[in-house]
Structure 1
Amino acid sequence: MSSLPIVVGYDRSLASQGALQWATTEAVRLEAPLRIVEAFEIVVFTQPSPGKVVPLAGLRSARERGLSALADGIRHLNPDMKVETLLVEGGPAEALLEEAEHARLLVLGSRGLGGWTGLVLGSVAVQVTTHARCPVVVIPPELRARRHEVPTVVVGVDGSKASAKAIDFAFDHAEALHAQVLAVHAWSSPFRTYEDDGRSMLQFDEAEVMESARVLVAEAVAGAAADHPDVTWNMQLAGGHPARAILHAAESAELVVVGFRGRDGFTGLLLGSVSQTVLHHAHRPTAIVR
Protein backbone atom coordinates (compact mmCIF):
# COMPACT_ATOMS: atom_id res chain seq x y z
CA MET A 1 0.00 0.00 0.00
CA SER A 2 1.27 3.48 -0.91
CA SER A 3 1.54 5.98 1.96
CA LEU A 4 1.12 8.92 -0.43
CA PRO A 5 -2.55 9.86 -0.91
CA ILE A 6 -4.58 10.43 -4.02
CA VAL A 7 -5.86 13.99 -3.64
CA VAL A 8 -9.11 15.09 -5.25
CA GLY A 9 -10.44 18.63 -5.55
CA TYR A 10 -14.09 18.73 -4.50
CA ASP A 11 -16.69 21.51 -4.60
CA ARG A 12 -20.01 19.59 -4.60
CA SER A 13 -20.53 20.11 -8.34
CA LEU A 14 -21.39 17.22 -10.66
CA ALA A 15 -17.96 17.50 -12.26
CA SER A 16 -16.15 17.20 -8.94
CA GLN A 17 -18.39 14.28 -8.00
CA GLY A 18 -17.18 12.52 -11.14
CA ALA A 19 -13.59 13.32 -10.19
CA LEU A 20 -14.21 11.97 -6.69
CA GLN A 21 -15.63 8.74 -8.07
CA TRP A 22 -12.62 8.30 -10.39
CA ALA A 23 -10.16 9.10 -7.60
CA THR A 24 -11.88 6.65 -5.24
CA THR A 25 -11.67 3.87 -7.82
CA GLU A 26 -7.97 4.62 -8.33
CA ALA A 27 -7.35 4.62 -4.59
CA VAL A 28 -8.93 1.18 -4.33
CA ARG A 29 -6.90 -0.16 -7.24
CA LEU A 30 -3.63 1.30 -6.01
CA GLU A 31 -4.36 0.63 -2.31
CA ALA A 32 -3.64 4.28 -1.57
CA PRO A 33 -5.23 6.71 0.92
CA LEU A 34 -7.82 9.15 -0.43
CA ARG A 35 -7.72 12.85 0.55
CA ILE A 36 -10.70 15.06 -0.34
CA VAL A 37 -9.89 18.79 -0.47
CA GLU A 38 -12.42 21.61 -0.67
CA ALA A 39 -11.52 25.28 -0.97
CA PHE A 40 -13.45 27.64 1.30
CA GLU A 41 -13.33 31.13 -0.16
CA ILE A 42 -14.67 34.01 1.90
CA VAL A 43 -17.06 36.29 0.00
CA VAL A 44 -17.27 39.89 1.19
CA PHE A 45 -20.46 41.86 0.47
CA THR A 46 -20.04 45.63 0.11
CA GLN A 47 -23.79 46.19 0.71
CA PRO A 48 -25.72 44.69 3.61
CA SER A 49 -28.17 41.93 2.73
CA PRO A 50 -30.72 41.66 5.55
CA GLY A 51 -31.94 38.12 6.06
CA LYS A 52 -29.27 36.66 3.79
CA VAL A 53 -26.20 36.87 5.99
CA VAL A 54 -24.83 33.47 7.01
CA PRO A 55 -22.33 33.46 9.90
CA LEU A 56 -18.91 32.42 8.68
CA ALA A 57 -18.44 29.87 11.46
CA GLY A 58 -21.80 28.29 10.66
CA LEU A 59 -21.03 28.08 6.96
CA ARG A 60 -17.68 26.49 7.61
CA SER A 61 -19.23 24.03 10.05
CA ALA A 62 -21.83 23.04 7.45
CA ARG A 63 -19.11 22.43 4.85
CA GLU A 64 -17.11 20.34 7.31
CA ARG A 65 -20.16 18.23 8.15
CA GLY A 66 -20.78 17.69 4.45
CA LEU A 67 -17.21 16.52 3.87
CA SER A 68 -17.37 14.27 6.92
CA ALA A 69 -20.57 12.63 5.70
CA LEU A 70 -19.04 12.17 2.26
CA ALA A 71 -15.98 10.47 3.72
CA ASP A 72 -18.16 8.23 5.92
CA GLY A 73 -20.07 7.06 2.85
CA ILE A 74 -16.85 6.16 1.04
CA ARG A 75 -15.50 4.32 4.09
CA HIS A 76 -18.74 2.35 4.34
CA LEU A 77 -18.27 1.07 0.78
CA ASN A 78 -14.50 0.67 1.17
CA PRO A 79 -13.83 -0.25 4.81
CA ASP A 80 -10.12 -0.88 4.24
CA MET A 81 -9.49 2.55 2.68
CA LYS A 82 -8.07 5.47 4.63
CA VAL A 83 -10.13 8.58 3.78
CA GLU A 84 -9.16 12.09 4.91
CA THR A 85 -10.87 15.44 4.32
CA LEU A 86 -9.53 18.98 4.33
CA LEU A 87 -11.45 22.26 4.18
CA VAL A 88 -9.05 25.11 3.44
CA GLU A 89 -9.59 28.86 3.37
CA GLY A 90 -8.27 30.71 0.34
CA GLY A 91 -7.72 30.12 -3.36
CA PRO A 92 -8.05 26.59 -4.77
CA ALA A 93 -4.87 26.67 -6.84
CA GLU A 94 -2.68 27.44 -3.84
CA ALA A 95 -4.37 24.74 -1.77
CA LEU A 96 -3.99 22.10 -4.46
CA LEU A 97 -0.37 22.95 -5.19
CA GLU A 98 0.43 22.62 -1.50
CA GLU A 99 -1.34 19.25 -1.40
CA ALA A 100 0.55 18.14 -4.52
CA GLU A 101 3.81 18.38 -2.57
CA HIS A 102 2.92 15.17 -0.76
CA ALA A 103 0.44 13.46 -3.12
CA ARG A 104 0.76 10.44 -5.36
CA LEU A 105 -1.83 11.84 -7.74
CA LEU A 106 -4.03 14.94 -7.99
CA VAL A 107 -7.50 14.56 -9.54
CA LEU A 108 -9.78 17.40 -10.71
CA GLY A 109 -13.01 17.75 -12.63
CA SER A 110 -12.86 19.84 -15.77
CA ARG A 111 -15.80 22.01 -14.70
CA GLY A 112 -16.98 23.03 -11.27
CA LEU A 113 -18.53 25.54 -8.91
CA GLY A 114 -16.89 28.13 -6.72
CA GLY A 115 -13.19 27.55 -6.30
CA TRP A 116 -12.78 25.06 -9.13
CA THR A 117 -14.75 26.99 -11.80
CA GLY A 118 -13.37 27.04 -15.34
CA LEU A 119 -10.71 24.45 -14.61
CA VAL A 120 -9.50 23.71 -18.13
CA LEU A 121 -9.95 27.20 -19.53
CA GLY A 122 -9.07 29.23 -16.46
CA SER A 123 -6.07 30.16 -14.38
CA VAL A 124 -6.51 27.33 -11.86
CA ALA A 125 -5.78 24.70 -14.49
CA VAL A 126 -2.75 26.54 -15.81
CA GLN A 127 -1.29 27.02 -12.33
CA VAL A 128 -1.98 23.51 -11.08
CA THR A 129 -0.92 21.57 -14.16
CA THR A 130 2.13 23.75 -14.68
CA HIS A 131 3.46 23.74 -11.12
CA ALA A 132 2.13 20.60 -9.41
CA ARG A 133 4.95 18.24 -8.43
CA CYS A 134 2.79 15.15 -8.86
CA PRO A 135 0.83 13.92 -11.90
CA VAL A 136 -2.52 15.66 -12.43
CA VAL A 137 -5.54 13.83 -13.85
CA VAL A 138 -8.36 15.92 -15.35
CA ILE A 139 -11.77 14.23 -15.54
CA PRO A 140 -14.08 15.49 -18.31
CA PRO A 141 -17.79 16.19 -17.71
CA GLU A 142 -20.31 13.40 -18.20
CA LEU A 143 -17.64 10.72 -18.07
CA ARG A 144 -19.10 7.38 -19.12
CA ALA A 145 -17.54 4.01 -18.44
CA ARG A 146 -16.02 2.20 -21.43
CA ARG A 147 -16.64 -1.51 -21.76
CA HIS A 148 -13.93 -3.21 -23.79
CA GLU A 149 -12.52 -6.67 -23.86
CA VAL A 150 -9.07 -5.15 -23.28
CA PRO A 151 -8.98 -1.64 -21.69
CA THR A 152 -6.35 0.71 -23.09
CA VAL A 153 -4.08 3.42 -21.72
CA VAL A 154 -2.95 5.85 -24.45
CA VAL A 155 0.38 7.67 -24.03
CA GLY A 156 2.01 10.30 -26.22
CA VAL A 157 5.63 9.44 -27.09
CA ASP A 158 8.27 11.74 -28.57
CA GLY A 159 11.56 10.45 -27.16
CA SER A 160 12.01 13.26 -24.62
CA LYS A 161 12.66 12.87 -20.88
CA ALA A 162 9.18 14.17 -20.13
CA SER A 163 7.77 11.57 -22.47
CA ALA A 164 9.72 8.88 -20.60
CA LYS A 165 8.02 9.92 -17.34
CA ALA A 166 4.64 9.73 -19.06
CA ILE A 167 5.43 6.24 -20.38
CA ASP A 168 6.35 5.00 -16.89
CA PHE A 169 3.11 6.45 -15.52
CA ALA A 170 1.09 4.85 -18.33
CA PHE A 171 2.57 1.39 -17.76
CA ASP A 172 2.10 1.63 -13.99
CA HIS A 173 -1.57 2.43 -14.43
CA ALA A 174 -2.05 -0.12 -17.19
CA GLU A 175 -0.77 -2.79 -14.85
CA ALA A 176 -3.19 -1.68 -12.11
CA LEU A 177 -6.06 -1.56 -14.62
CA HIS A 178 -5.12 -4.86 -16.31
CA ALA A 179 -4.97 -2.80 -19.48
CA GLN A 180 -2.79 -2.60 -22.56
CA VAL A 181 -0.72 0.45 -23.55
CA LEU A 182 -1.00 2.21 -26.90
CA ALA A 183 2.08 4.38 -27.55
CA VAL A 184 1.19 7.17 -29.99
CA HIS A 185 3.78 9.09 -31.99
CA ALA A 186 3.09 11.71 -34.65
CA TRP A 187 5.31 13.92 -36.75
CA SER A 188 5.20 16.72 -39.27
CA SER A 189 7.28 16.47 -42.43
CA PRO A 190 10.23 16.87 -42.52
CA PHE A 191 11.01 14.59 -39.57
CA ARG A 192 13.74 15.62 -37.11
CA THR A 193 15.93 12.92 -35.54
CA TYR A 194 18.40 13.34 -32.68
CA GLU A 195 21.87 11.87 -32.33
CA ASP A 196 23.45 10.80 -29.03
CA ASP A 197 25.64 13.92 -29.00
CA GLY A 198 22.60 16.18 -29.26
CA ARG A 199 22.89 17.00 -32.97
CA SER A 200 19.73 16.84 -35.06
CA MET A 201 19.04 15.83 -38.66
CA LEU A 202 16.08 16.26 -40.99
CA GLN A 203 14.62 13.33 -42.92
CA PHE A 204 12.27 13.66 -45.88
CA ASP A 205 11.91 10.09 -47.15
CA GLU A 206 8.59 8.70 -45.92
CA ALA A 207 9.89 5.15 -45.47
CA GLU A 208 12.91 6.38 -43.51
CA VAL A 209 10.69 8.63 -41.44
CA MET A 210 8.39 5.73 -40.57
CA GLU A 211 11.31 3.49 -39.63
CA SER A 212 12.91 6.22 -37.51
CA ALA A 213 9.59 6.77 -35.74
CA ARG A 214 9.19 3.04 -35.10
CA VAL A 215 12.70 2.82 -33.63
CA LEU A 216 12.14 5.94 -31.50
CA VAL A 217 8.96 4.54 -29.96
CA ALA A 218 10.42 1.07 -29.45
CA GLU A 219 13.47 2.46 -27.65
CA ALA A 220 11.38 4.88 -25.58
CA VAL A 221 9.03 2.15 -24.38
CA ALA A 222 11.62 -0.61 -23.87
CA GLY A 223 12.48 0.18 -20.25
CA ALA A 224 8.90 0.45 -19.00
CA ALA A 225 7.89 -2.63 -20.95
CA ALA A 226 10.70 -4.62 -19.34
CA ASP A 227 9.63 -3.42 -15.87
CA HIS A 228 6.02 -4.47 -16.57
CA PRO A 229 6.30 -7.79 -18.43
CA ASP A 230 2.60 -8.58 -17.97
CA VAL A 231 1.50 -5.40 -19.77
CA THR A 232 1.10 -5.76 -23.53
CA TRP A 233 1.65 -2.71 -25.71
CA ASN A 234 1.35 -1.54 -29.28
CA MET A 235 2.43 1.56 -31.16
CA GLN A 236 0.46 3.87 -33.40
CA LEU A 237 2.42 6.04 -35.85
CA ALA A 238 0.90 8.90 -37.80
CA GLY A 239 1.93 11.91 -39.81
CA GLY A 240 0.34 15.19 -38.82
CA HIS A 241 -0.43 17.09 -35.63
CA PRO A 242 0.26 15.04 -32.47
CA ALA A 243 -2.85 16.30 -30.66
CA ARG A 244 -5.03 14.94 -33.45
CA ALA A 245 -3.31 11.57 -33.27
CA ILE A 246 -3.71 11.41 -29.48
CA LEU A 247 -7.36 12.42 -29.57
CA HIS A 248 -8.14 9.84 -32.27
CA ALA A 249 -6.48 7.08 -30.24
CA ALA A 250 -8.09 8.31 -27.00
CA GLU A 251 -11.70 7.99 -28.12
CA SER A 252 -12.15 4.69 -26.28
CA ALA A 253 -9.23 4.81 -23.83
CA GLU A 254 -9.49 4.31 -20.08
CA LEU A 255 -6.79 6.96 -19.60
CA VAL A 256 -4.80 9.36 -21.77
CA VAL A 257 -1.27 10.27 -20.61
CA VAL A 258 0.90 13.13 -21.87
CA GLY A 259 4.20 14.56 -20.62
CA PHE A 260 4.71 18.09 -19.35
CA ARG A 261 7.49 18.96 -21.78
CA GLY A 262 8.60 17.44 -25.05
CA ARG A 263 10.34 18.12 -28.33
CA ASP A 264 9.06 18.59 -31.87
CA GLY A 265 5.29 18.04 -32.00
CA PHE A 266 4.96 17.74 -28.24
CA THR A 267 7.07 20.80 -27.33
CA GLY A 268 5.56 23.06 -24.67
CA LEU A 269 2.87 20.47 -24.11
CA LEU A 270 1.02 22.14 -21.28
CA LEU A 271 1.09 25.74 -22.45
CA GLY A 272 1.04 25.00 -26.18
CA SER A 273 -1.51 23.83 -28.68
CA VAL A 274 -1.13 20.09 -28.04
CA SER A 275 -2.03 20.21 -24.37
CA GLN A 276 -4.82 22.72 -24.83
CA THR A 277 -6.31 20.71 -27.68
CA VAL A 278 -6.14 17.44 -25.73
CA LEU A 279 -7.55 18.94 -22.52
CA HIS A 280 -10.32 20.79 -24.36
CA HIS A 281 -11.43 17.92 -26.56
CA ALA A 282 -10.53 14.62 -24.89
CA HIS A 283 -13.63 12.90 -23.56
CA ARG A 284 -11.54 10.57 -21.43
CA PRO A 285 -9.54 11.10 -18.22
CA THR A 286 -6.26 12.84 -19.10
CA ALA A 287 -3.10 12.68 -17.01
CA ILE A 288 -0.44 15.40 -17.20
CA VAL A 289 2.91 14.05 -15.99
CA ARG A 290 5.87 16.29 -15.18
Structure 2
Amino acid sequence: MSSQPAPIVVGYDGSPGSQSALRWAVGEAVRELAPLRILEAFELIVTVRPTPGHVVPLDALRTARQKGLDAVADTVRLQHPELQVETSLVGGAAVPALLDEAGRARLVVLGSRGLGGWSGLLVGSVAVQVTTHARCPVIVIPHDLRPHAHEGATVAVGVDGSKVSAKAIDFAFDQAEALHARVVALHAWSSPFLTYSDGASMLQFDEDKIQEEGRLLVAESVAGAAADHPDVQWTTELVSGSAAQALVRRANSADLVVVGSRGRGGFTGLLLGSVGQSVLHHAQSPVAIVR
Protein backbone atom coordinates (compact mmCIF):
# COMPACT_ATOMS: atom_id res chain seq x y z
CA MET A 1 0.00 0.00 0.00
CA SER A 2 1.43 3.38 -1.09
CA SER A 3 2.22 5.96 1.56
CA GLN A 4 2.23 8.74 -1.03
CA PRO A 5 0.19 11.66 0.38
CA ALA A 6 -2.81 12.87 -1.57
CA PRO A 7 -1.98 15.80 -3.84
CA ILE A 8 -3.15 19.38 -3.81
CA VAL A 9 -4.79 19.93 -7.19
CA VAL A 10 -4.95 23.36 -8.78
CA GLY A 11 -7.01 24.23 -11.84
CA TYR A 12 -4.97 26.29 -14.30
CA ASP A 13 -5.83 27.98 -17.59
CA GLY A 14 -3.43 30.93 -17.66
CA SER A 15 -6.05 33.44 -16.49
CA PRO A 16 -5.27 35.91 -13.67
CA GLY A 17 -7.60 33.92 -11.41
CA SER A 18 -5.79 30.66 -12.06
CA GLN A 19 -2.42 32.34 -11.51
CA SER A 20 -3.59 33.54 -8.09
CA ALA A 21 -4.85 30.02 -7.38
CA LEU A 22 -1.50 28.54 -8.41
CA ARG A 23 0.44 30.85 -6.08
CA TRP A 24 -1.85 29.91 -3.18
CA ALA A 25 -1.68 26.20 -4.00
CA VAL A 26 2.12 26.28 -4.16
CA GLY A 27 2.28 27.89 -0.72
CA GLU A 28 -0.16 25.33 0.66
CA ALA A 29 1.81 22.41 -0.85
CA VAL A 30 5.02 23.74 0.68
CA ARG A 31 3.36 24.18 4.08
CA GLU A 32 1.75 20.74 4.02
CA LEU A 33 4.69 18.90 2.37
CA ALA A 34 2.19 17.61 -0.18
CA PRO A 35 2.58 16.93 -3.92
CA LEU A 36 1.24 19.61 -6.26
CA ARG A 37 -0.76 18.64 -9.33
CA ILE A 38 -1.41 21.37 -11.92
CA LEU A 39 -4.39 20.47 -14.08
CA GLU A 40 -5.43 22.15 -17.30
CA ALA A 41 -8.49 21.08 -19.28
CA PHE A 42 -8.03 21.29 -23.03
CA GLU A 43 -11.36 21.67 -24.77
CA LEU A 44 -11.26 22.65 -28.44
CA ILE A 45 -14.34 24.57 -29.55
CA VAL A 46 -14.55 25.35 -33.26
CA THR A 47 -16.71 28.44 -33.67
CA VAL A 48 -16.62 28.67 -37.48
CA ARG A 49 -17.22 26.03 -40.13
CA PRO A 50 -13.87 24.91 -41.58
CA THR A 51 -13.43 25.45 -45.32
CA PRO A 52 -13.05 22.34 -47.48
CA GLY A 53 -9.61 20.88 -47.06
CA HIS A 54 -8.90 22.90 -43.92
CA VAL A 55 -7.63 20.85 -40.98
CA VAL A 56 -7.70 22.08 -37.40
CA PRO A 57 -4.15 21.39 -36.09
CA LEU A 58 -5.35 19.68 -32.90
CA ASP A 59 -2.09 17.86 -32.19
CA ALA A 60 -0.09 21.06 -32.62
CA LEU A 61 -2.44 22.97 -30.34
CA ARG A 62 -2.26 20.25 -27.69
CA THR A 63 1.55 20.19 -27.90
CA ALA A 64 1.69 23.97 -27.47
CA ARG A 65 -0.60 23.85 -24.44
CA GLN A 66 1.46 21.05 -22.91
CA LYS A 67 4.68 23.03 -23.42
CA GLY A 68 3.09 26.02 -21.73
CA LEU A 69 1.92 23.91 -18.81
CA ASP A 70 5.36 22.29 -18.47
CA ALA A 71 6.95 25.75 -18.41
CA VAL A 72 4.67 26.76 -15.53
CA ALA A 73 5.62 23.61 -13.62
CA ASP A 74 9.33 24.15 -14.29
CA THR A 75 9.09 27.66 -12.82
CA VAL A 76 7.50 26.24 -9.66
CA ARG A 77 10.19 23.54 -9.41
CA LEU A 78 12.93 26.14 -9.80
CA GLN A 79 11.47 28.21 -6.96
CA HIS A 80 10.72 25.19 -4.75
CA PRO A 81 13.08 22.32 -5.64
CA GLU A 82 11.84 20.28 -2.69
CA LEU A 83 8.29 20.27 -4.04
CA GLN A 84 6.95 17.36 -6.09
CA VAL A 85 5.13 18.89 -9.06
CA GLU A 86 3.05 17.06 -11.65
CA THR A 87 1.07 18.34 -14.62
CA SER A 88 -2.03 16.98 -16.28
CA LEU A 89 -3.44 18.21 -19.59
CA VAL A 90 -6.90 16.67 -19.85
CA GLY A 91 -9.03 16.62 -22.95
CA GLY A 92 -12.57 17.87 -22.39
CA ALA A 93 -14.38 20.24 -20.07
CA ALA A 94 -12.79 21.51 -16.84
CA VAL A 95 -15.54 20.58 -14.39
CA PRO A 96 -15.59 16.78 -14.97
CA ALA A 97 -11.79 16.69 -14.95
CA LEU A 98 -11.54 18.60 -11.67
CA LEU A 99 -14.28 16.54 -10.02
CA ASP A 100 -12.48 13.36 -11.04
CA GLU A 101 -9.25 14.68 -9.50
CA ALA A 102 -11.13 15.75 -6.37
CA GLY A 103 -11.89 12.10 -5.62
CA ARG A 104 -8.17 11.51 -5.07
CA ALA A 105 -7.04 14.93 -3.80
CA ARG A 106 -6.66 16.32 -0.31
CA LEU A 107 -7.65 19.75 -1.61
CA VAL A 108 -8.65 21.47 -4.85
CA VAL A 109 -7.68 25.12 -5.41
CA LEU A 110 -9.40 27.25 -8.05
CA GLY A 111 -9.42 30.84 -9.17
CA SER A 112 -12.72 32.65 -8.72
CA ARG A 113 -12.88 33.21 -12.48
CA GLY A 114 -11.12 31.63 -15.42
CA LEU A 115 -11.04 32.41 -19.11
CA GLY A 116 -14.32 32.92 -20.95
CA GLY A 117 -17.80 33.45 -19.57
CA TRP A 118 -19.28 36.74 -18.37
CA SER A 119 -16.60 39.02 -16.97
CA GLY A 120 -19.10 40.78 -14.69
CA LEU A 121 -19.60 37.67 -12.56
CA LEU A 122 -17.47 37.50 -9.42
CA VAL A 123 -17.36 33.70 -9.43
CA GLY A 124 -17.30 31.60 -12.59
CA SER A 125 -19.38 28.53 -13.35
CA VAL A 126 -16.43 26.15 -12.93
CA ALA A 127 -15.79 27.31 -9.36
CA VAL A 128 -19.50 27.08 -8.51
CA GLN A 129 -19.93 23.58 -9.94
CA VAL A 130 -16.74 22.19 -8.42
CA THR A 131 -17.46 23.57 -4.94
CA THR A 132 -20.98 22.16 -5.20
CA HIS A 133 -20.02 18.61 -6.16
CA ALA A 134 -16.40 17.94 -5.13
CA ARG A 135 -15.79 15.25 -2.52
CA CYS A 136 -12.80 17.06 -0.98
CA PRO A 137 -12.48 20.61 0.36
CA VAL A 138 -12.26 23.30 -2.33
CA ILE A 139 -10.60 26.68 -1.89
CA VAL A 140 -11.55 29.50 -4.26
CA ILE A 141 -9.05 32.35 -4.62
CA PRO A 142 -10.02 35.86 -5.79
CA HIS A 143 -8.12 36.81 -8.94
CA ASP A 144 -7.09 40.15 -7.40
CA LEU A 145 -6.11 38.73 -4.01
CA ARG A 146 -3.97 41.14 -1.99
CA PRO A 147 -2.50 40.70 1.49
CA HIS A 148 -4.61 42.24 4.24
CA ALA A 149 -3.09 45.15 6.13
CA HIS A 150 -3.24 43.68 9.62
CA GLU A 151 -1.01 42.00 12.14
CA GLY A 152 -1.34 38.24 12.41
CA ALA A 153 -3.09 35.87 10.07
CA THR A 154 -6.74 34.99 10.68
CA VAL A 155 -8.91 32.05 9.64
CA ALA A 156 -12.64 32.63 10.10
CA VAL A 157 -15.03 29.68 10.27
CA GLY A 158 -18.80 29.54 10.43
CA VAL A 159 -20.17 27.54 13.38
CA ASP A 160 -23.77 26.34 13.63
CA GLY A 161 -23.52 23.00 15.43
CA SER A 162 -24.11 20.85 12.33
CA LYS A 163 -21.97 17.86 11.31
CA VAL A 164 -20.66 19.69 8.26
CA SER A 165 -19.79 22.68 10.45
CA ALA A 166 -17.72 20.34 12.63
CA LYS A 167 -15.72 19.29 9.55
CA ALA A 168 -15.26 22.95 8.62
CA ILE A 169 -13.92 23.67 12.13
CA ASP A 170 -11.39 20.83 11.88
CA PHE A 171 -10.27 22.14 8.49
CA ALA A 172 -10.03 25.71 9.79
CA PHE A 173 -7.79 24.67 12.69
CA ASP A 174 -5.58 22.61 10.35
CA GLN A 175 -5.20 25.64 8.10
CA ALA A 176 -4.60 27.98 11.02
CA GLU A 177 -1.81 25.76 12.32
CA ALA A 178 -0.16 25.68 8.88
CA LEU A 179 -0.55 29.45 8.42
CA HIS A 180 0.46 30.29 12.02
CA ALA A 181 -2.91 32.00 12.27
CA ARG A 182 -5.61 32.42 14.87
CA VAL A 183 -9.15 31.12 14.39
CA VAL A 184 -12.26 33.25 14.67
CA ALA A 185 -15.23 30.94 15.30
CA LEU A 186 -18.26 32.91 14.14
CA HIS A 187 -21.82 32.05 15.12
CA ALA A 188 -24.80 34.07 13.92
CA TRP A 189 -28.20 34.06 15.56
CA SER A 190 -31.44 35.62 14.40
CA SER A 191 -33.75 37.60 16.63
CA PRO A 192 -37.10 35.86 17.18
CA PHE A 193 -38.80 39.26 17.42
CA LEU A 194 -41.89 39.79 15.34
CA THR A 195 -43.13 43.35 15.67
CA TYR A 196 -46.27 45.33 15.07
CA SER A 197 -46.20 48.52 13.04
CA ASP A 198 -45.86 50.62 16.22
CA GLY A 199 -42.76 48.68 17.26
CA ALA A 200 -44.42 46.59 19.97
CA SER A 201 -43.09 43.06 20.23
CA MET A 202 -45.15 39.94 19.63
CA LEU A 203 -42.53 37.82 21.39
CA GLN A 204 -40.24 38.41 24.31
CA PHE A 205 -36.89 36.75 24.71
CA ASP A 206 -33.75 37.07 26.78
CA GLU A 207 -30.95 38.33 24.51
CA ASP A 208 -28.30 37.55 27.12
CA LYS A 209 -29.53 33.97 27.30
CA ILE A 210 -29.47 33.63 23.50
CA GLN A 211 -25.89 34.89 23.39
CA GLU A 212 -24.84 32.59 26.20
CA GLU A 213 -26.37 29.62 24.37
CA GLY A 214 -24.49 30.64 21.24
CA ARG A 215 -21.23 30.96 23.17
CA LEU A 216 -21.77 27.49 24.66
CA LEU A 217 -22.54 26.02 21.22
CA VAL A 218 -19.30 27.44 19.82
CA ALA A 219 -17.26 26.23 22.80
CA GLU A 220 -18.64 22.70 22.49
CA SER A 221 -18.20 22.67 18.71
CA VAL A 222 -14.59 23.89 18.82
CA ALA A 223 -13.41 21.87 21.83
CA GLY A 224 -12.13 18.85 19.91
CA ALA A 225 -10.24 20.79 17.24
CA ALA A 226 -8.79 23.15 19.85
CA ALA A 227 -7.52 20.19 21.89
CA ASP A 228 -5.90 18.71 18.77
CA HIS A 229 -4.21 22.05 17.96
CA PRO A 230 -3.11 23.43 21.34
CA ASP A 231 -0.86 26.08 19.76
CA VAL A 232 -3.68 27.66 17.76
CA GLN A 233 -5.36 30.58 19.47
CA TRP A 234 -9.05 31.07 18.86
CA THR A 235 -11.81 33.47 19.74
CA THR A 236 -15.60 33.42 19.58
CA GLU A 237 -17.53 35.99 17.59
CA LEU A 238 -21.31 36.16 18.11
CA VAL A 239 -23.34 38.12 15.59
CA SER A 240 -27.03 38.94 15.44
CA GLY A 241 -28.33 38.60 11.90
CA SER A 242 -27.29 36.85 8.71
CA ALA A 243 -24.44 34.35 8.95
CA ALA A 244 -23.56 34.92 5.31
CA GLN A 245 -23.32 38.69 5.73
CA ALA A 246 -21.25 38.31 8.89
CA LEU A 247 -18.79 35.97 7.17
CA VAL A 248 -18.53 38.24 4.12
CA ARG A 249 -17.73 41.18 6.41
CA ARG A 250 -15.19 39.03 8.23
CA ALA A 251 -13.55 38.23 4.89
CA ASN A 252 -12.41 41.85 4.65
CA SER A 253 -9.82 41.17 7.34
CA ALA A 254 -9.44 37.37 7.19
CA ASP A 255 -6.81 35.40 5.30
CA LEU A 256 -9.24 32.52 4.79
CA VAL A 257 -12.96 31.97 5.38
CA VAL A 258 -14.12 28.38 5.93
CA VAL A 259 -17.73 27.33 5.45
CA GLY A 260 -19.46 23.97 5.55
CA SER A 261 -21.15 23.01 2.30
CA ARG A 262 -24.48 22.83 4.12
CA GLY A 263 -25.52 23.98 7.56
CA ARG A 264 -28.72 23.77 9.53
CA GLY A 265 -32.01 24.67 7.95
CA GLY A 266 -32.77 25.35 4.31
CA PHE A 267 -33.52 22.76 1.66
CA THR A 268 -31.70 19.53 2.45
CA GLY A 269 -31.64 18.50 -1.22
CA LEU A 270 -29.26 21.33 -2.09
CA LEU A 271 -25.60 20.32 -2.23
CA LEU A 272 -24.34 23.82 -1.47
CA GLY A 273 -26.28 25.86 1.07
CA SER A 274 -27.26 29.51 0.82
CA VAL A 275 -24.54 30.64 3.25
CA GLY A 276 -21.84 28.88 1.25
CA GLN A 277 -23.15 30.33 -1.99
CA SER A 278 -23.34 33.87 -0.61
CA VAL A 279 -19.86 33.77 0.87
CA LEU A 280 -18.43 32.23 -2.29
CA HIS A 281 -19.91 34.99 -4.46
CA HIS A 282 -19.16 37.99 -2.25
CA ALA A 283 -16.12 37.38 -0.02
CA GLN A 284 -12.94 39.25 -0.87
CA SER A 285 -10.68 36.61 0.68
CA PRO A 286 -9.98 32.96 -0.17
CA VAL A 287 -13.01 30.81 0.66
CA ALA A 288 -12.88 27.14 1.60
CA ILE A 289 -15.99 25.02 1.11
CA VAL A 290 -15.81 21.84 3.20
CA ARG A 291 -18.11 18.85 2.75
Alignment TM-score, normalising by the size of structure 1: 0.89
Measured in 1, the distance between the counterparts of 2:101 and 2:44 equals: 20
Match of 2:252 in 1: 251
Give the secondary-structure state (helix, strand or coil) at the position aligned to 2:109.
strand
Give the secondary-structure state (helix, strand or coil) at the position aligned to 1:3.
coil
Q: 1:60 to 1:119 in 2, by over 3 A?
A: farther
Percent identical pairs in the alignment equals: 67
Q: Select the residue among 60, 63, 66 that pairs with 1:61.
A: 63
Measured in 1, the distance between the counterparts of 2:270 and 2:30 equals: 30
Q: 1:217 to 1:22 in 2, by over 3 A?
A: same
Q: How many residues matched? A: 280
User: Shift in Å at residue 129 of structure 1?
Assistant: 1.2
Give the secondary-structure state (helix, strand or coil) at the position aligned to 1:189.
coil
Match of 1:77 in 2: 79
Q: Which moved more, 1:202-211 or 1:91-100?
A: 202-211
Corresponding position: 1:231 with 2:232: yes
Measured in 1, the distance between the counterparts of 2:90 and 2:204 equals: 53
Report Cα offsets for 1:40-82 as digits up to 9, x if no partner. Answer: 0021345226999650000000000011111111000000000
User: Shift in Å at residue 115 of structure 1?
Assistant: 8.9
Q: Counterpart of 2:191 in structure 1: which amino acid?
A: S
Measured in 1, the distance between the counterparts of 2:4 and 2:176 equals: 17
User: Shift in Å at residue 141 of structure 1?
Assistant: 2.1
Give the secondary-structure state (helix, strand or coil) at the position aligned to 1:137.
strand
Match of 2:182 in 1: 180
Measured in 2, the distance between the counterparts of 1:269 and 1:289 equals: 14
Report Cα offsets for 1:122-156 as digits up to 9, x if no partner. Answer: 54334311211110000112100124322100000
Q: Which moved more, 1:244-253 or 1:263-272?
A: 263-272
Q: 1:77 to 1:269 in 2, by over 3 A?
A: farther
Give the secondary-structure state (helix, strand or coil) at the position aligned to 2:252.
helix
Measured in 2, the distance between the counterparts of 1:222 and 1:268 equals: 30
Give the secondary-structure state (helix, strand or coil) at the position aligned to 1:155.
strand
Q: 1:272 to 1:146 in 2, by over 3 A?
A: same
Q: 1:9 to 1:275 in 2, by over 3 A?
A: same
Q: Counterpart of 1:209 in structure 2: which amino acid?
A: I
Give the secondary-structure state (helix, strand or coil) at the position aligned to 1:64.
helix
Q: 1:122 to 1:16 in 2, by over 3 A?
A: closer
Corresponding position: 1:20 with 2:22: yes
Gaps of 5+ in 2: 194-202
Q: Counterpart of 2:257 in structure 1: which amino acid?
A: V
Q: Counterpart of 2:19 in structure 1: which amino acid?
A: Q
